[in-house]
Amino acid sequence: MIALDIASLKAGYDNGTLTPQAVLEEIYARIAERGERPVWISLVPKETALAKLAAAPKGSLWGIPFAVKDNIDVAGMPTTAGCPDFAYKATRSATVVELLEAQGAILVGKTNLDQFATGLVGVRSPYGICSSVFSVDHVSGGSSSGSGVAVAAGLVSFSLGTDTAGSGRVPAAFNNIVGLKPSKGLISNRGLVPACRSLDCISIFAGTCADALAVLAVAGSYDAEDGFSRAAPAAAVATAWPKGFRFGVPKGELEFFGDTQARDLYLAAVERLQGLGGTKVDIDFTAFAQCAQLLYSGPWVAERLAAIQDFAREKPGSIHEVVRGIIVGADTISAVSAFDGFYKLADLTRAAEAQWAKMDVMLLPTTGTTYRIDEVLADPVKLNSNLGTYTNFVNLMDLCGTAIPAGFRDNGLPFGVTLLGRAFQDGAVASLADRLHRSLDDATIGGTGQRLEQTLEIQIKPQPNRALVAVVGAHLAGQPLHGQLQDRNARLVGTTRTAPGYSFYALDTQPAKPGLVYDGQGVGGIEVEIYELDFEAFGSFVALIPPPLGIGSLKLADGSWVQGFTCEAHAVKGARDITAFGGWRAYLAKG
């Protein structure tokens, strides 16, 4: 069976053991064996896909098969948004599809969804009900149901979903895959049938965080044709995390709706993140929880009506009963109510700032539980709402997130967690999520059986035309002067040690700082963090450094050289030699 992760396909293409044609042939055979419905609403004919492959540019995604949710336009194909009477034939592809195809990615088809992207369950579609790849009786998650299942079932390498309330994360949790919900505006929404235009994000499903981030690197591009597009060229860049990074966990008992095994798996994820060097911080989740309630009880429901108001008024009977009940009823929401909602959101977002000051990233269950399809059909609104407990606030508060698998219950159903960060920290959050995902024992991808350890992890690489600087003391993450790096958007590339021969001293300064001197005496090396800055930021950073410290060339343990903190030799006379501690943090902890 051909493994569809991007790195494996690229390696096969490069060494000649695979061809994109053979991959497409196998994919279409898998789809034929499984059947088109309910995963697919429309397929690209195999002959057309092969013809597109023959003409495809040999870019970074050449020969990589993908799918898109059927509220995203593809030229020449119908866009249904899960509603046959709403369907139209697109004359131009969405910007994100154009970008992916310009790098050689090959579209296989358009996938099923909760109608008009309204729902987290995947049961609100006339094209059939998708189920989890692990149980025909349990929901797949929505609204991006088909996109999640297409990846989990090994039918494509990656897929595009959308995420307004959690639709790019819940299907990932229920199908043992990765769901990357980017910062708002990072991926253009031109060519997307909106749910809530001010909140919508086109999202990415993949088997690994590395694949999701590779797709984001292509898809995340400023688009002048989208009024909500935002430029953030470095957002998708992978970032290392320092020791002691702070991750927020809501204090008190979280709501798992009686699913004790989900609770246990979440607590295990907390322990694993601590094992990766993280410091757990208890946070007050109140503002986030109250914000989550705004999405469907506040004026943003009216934005869903604004997206399809003419169709909803002319053909209300064509809309799924549950979706109609949510959207059409929004006609009574007044402009006054809308402004009240905006004010409430601003107050809650401000309140949340106090919690973000305590943490670098937040770790949450993606959902508190999962449900059988018959349960959701019997109680469609309440159970759907339960699934949004830890997802609904994210876009309202302008956060980014990566959802990853976090183990299985005894009944074989998967559970997932999500790491959340501030806007445009997408690459950093995905990098940490990759480490947390890979800390799972015997992790596999979706329902394919492919082992995660056989795939490529996210690579932290220096970017071109940027300066590197090694810090050893008060500028380390969590130390008093680290803000000088943060203010300059410095990116952590990695943590390492100097080569032997450096001695390390505790200086008498405020704040406390060490002095690093090369004298050929020290053994074992001194711990350093390597940061990357643009040249202007590097210059302004160096200008802040007072004597006796300065920036000079440091030799690292691997033999390479980098600019870093050094100290004038006269300043260490009489200072305490702390070389034996091997680093500033160890000295502060034990010295």
Q: For the chain, how are helix, strand and coil distributed in percent, rounded to 5?
A: 35, 20, 45
Helices 335-356, 286-297: axis angle to 10 degrees equals 160
pLDDT confidence of residue 41: 98
Q: 300 burial class (0-12, 13-18, 19+ CB within 10 angstroms)?
A: buried
Backbone angles phi, psi at 285, to 5 degrees: -90, 5
Helices 46-55, 20-34: axis angle to 10 degrees equals 160
Q: What gap in Å lies between CA 88 and CA 105, rounded to an integer?
A: 24
In the annotation, is 167 catalytic?
A: yes
Of 208, 278, 213, 151, give the one whose Cα is nearest residue 453.
Answer: 208
Name 66's bridge partners. Answer: 107, 158
Q: What gap in Å lies between CA 453 and CA 342, rounded to an integer?
A: 45
Helices assigned H by DSSP within 442-575: 483-486, 535-542
pLDDT confidence of residue 462: 85
Q: What gap in Å lies between CA 233 and CA 217, rounded to an integer?
A: 9
Pairing assessment for the beta strands 106-111 and 65-69 based on DSSP bridges? parallel
Q: Identity (one letter) of the amino acid at 538?
A: F
Task: Provide the b/e sequence for 215-243 (b: ≥16 CB within 10 Å).
Answer: bbbbbbbebeebebbbebeebbbbbbbbb
Among candidate residues 8, 145, 147, 167, the one labeled active-site is: 167
Q: What gap in Å lies between CA 531 and CA 562, rounded to an integer?
A: 10
pLDDT confidence of residue 51: 98
Among candidate residues 93, 143, 147, 221, the one labeled active-site is: 143
Q: What gap in Å lies between CA 368 and CA 366, rounded to an integer?
A: 7
pLDDT confidence of residue 523: 85
| DSSP symbols for 340-359 | HHHHHHHHHHHHHHHHHTT-
Q: What gap in Å lies between CA 428 and CA 228, rounded to an integer?
A: 23
For 394-518, where are the E strands, in sequence order?
399-408, 414-422, 467-471, 491-497, 502-506, 514-518
pLDDT in tens, the chain (591 residues): 899 999 999 999 999 999 999 999 999 999 999 999 999 999 999 999 999 999 999 999 999 999 999 999 999 999 999 999 999 999 999 999 999 999 999 999 999 999 999 999 999 999 999 999 999 999 999 999 999 999 999 999 999 999 999 999 999 999 999 999 999 999 999 999 999 999 999 999 999 999 999 999 999 999 999 999 999 988 999 999 998 999 999 999 999 999 999 999 999 999 999 999 999 999 999 999 999 999 987 789 999 999 999 999 999 999 999 999 999 888 888 999 999 999 999 999 999 999 999 999 999 999 999 999 999 999 999 999 999 999 999 999 999 999 999 999 999 999 999 999 999 999 999 999 999 999 999 999 999 999 999 999 999 988 888 999 999 999 999 999 999 999 999 999 999 999 999 999 999 999 999 999 999 998 889 999 999 999 999 999 999 999 999 999 999 999 999 999 999 999 999 999 999 999 999 999 987
Model-level pTM greater than 0.75? yes
Pairing assessment for the beta strands 561-567 and 467-471 based on DSSP bridges? parallel
Please say whether the dihedral angle defined by the alpha carbons of residues 321, 322, 327 and 333, taken in this order, is positive or negative.
positive
Q: 499: helix, coil or strand?
A: coil
pLDDT confidence of residue 250: 98
Total number of residues shown for the chain? 591
- Helices and strands of the chain, counted as H and E runs: 18, 23
Backbone angles phi, psi at 376, to 5 degrees: -70, -40
Q: What gap in Å lies between CA 121 and CA 170, rounded to an integer?
A: 8
Q: What gap in Å lies between CA 497 and CA 556, rounded to an integer?
A: 6
The total of other beta-carbon atoms located within 10 Å of residue 535's CB is 10
pLDDT confidence of residue 385: 97
Half-sphere exposure of 427 (CA within 13 A, CB side): 23
In the annotation, is 143 catalytic?
A: yes
Tokens of 196: 């809530």
The total of other beta-carbon atoms located within 10 Å of residue 446's CB is 27
CB 323 within 8 Å of CB 381: no
Q: What gap in Å lies between CA 473 and CA 478, rounded to an integer?
A: 10
Please say whether the dihedral angle defined by the alpha carbons of residues 438, 442, 448 and 450, taken in this order, is positive or negative.
positive
Among candidate residues 10, 69, 110, 181, the one labeled active-site is: 69
Tokens of 421: 């960060």
Q: What gap in Å lies between CA 540 and CA 538, rounded to an integer?
A: 6
pLDDT confidence of residue 465: 87
All domains of the chain, ordered by start, with CATH? 6-449 (3.90.1300.10), 467-590 (3.10.490.10)
Name 131's bridge partners. Answer: 139
| DSSP symbols for 250-291 | ESSPPP-TT-HHHHHHHHHHHHHHHHTT-EEEEE--HHHHHH
CB 517 within 8 Å of CB 567: yes
Q: Please calculate the CA angle 396-401-405 and round it to the nearest 5 degrees.
A: 135
Tokens of 536: 């202007």
Name 530's bridge partners. Answer: 470, 494
In the annotation, is 52 catalytic?
A: no
CB 39 within 8 Å of CB 150: yes
